[in-house]
Amino acid sequence: MKRIITYGTFDMLHYGHINLLRRAKERGDYLIVALSTDEFNQNSKQKKTYFSFEKRKQLLEAIRYVDLVIPEESWDQKVNDINLYQVDEFVIGDDWQGQFDFIGDQTNADVVYLARTPEISTTQIKKDLSIKNLATEHKSIVE
């Protein structure tokens, strides 16, 4: 059985996330998703999520490509997770290109950077929503 692992926040789940999960699962038999906890996002990434860890976990568990969701509580846990779950391949979006090459040196897992879905990102969604909200607020003030 070939085991794959990926990491992420998966807030505001969209089709780019689904594409990544589908493509990761296609690379093996069992997909583990390490989901960033609320505390990790806040303290280490300076990021507040819209949905709580538990809600994001429920969403991921409902996706047919995902076999197991585990908490990501620190940047340093990846090597331990890969050894603990006997992972064959670490998969992440190519926006992280080169950042996790050390995993291939410290474990038996291959490191694979998958191309992102180009026209979608959580950051872009948040930006677009912010612009729309500002335009709506401005319009109501003018009227």
Residues known to be catalytic: 45, 47
Give the integer Cα–Cα distance in Å for 84 and 4: 13
Structure-block tokens of residue 33: 């998703």
- Cβ atoms of 70 and 30 within 8 Å: the answer is no
Helix, coil or strand: residue 71: strand
- Cβ atoms of 24 and 61 within 8 Å: the answer is no
Closest CA to 72 of 89, 85, 64, 102: 85
Q: Is 47 exposed, middle or buried (0-12, 13-18, 19+ CB in 10 A)?
A: middle
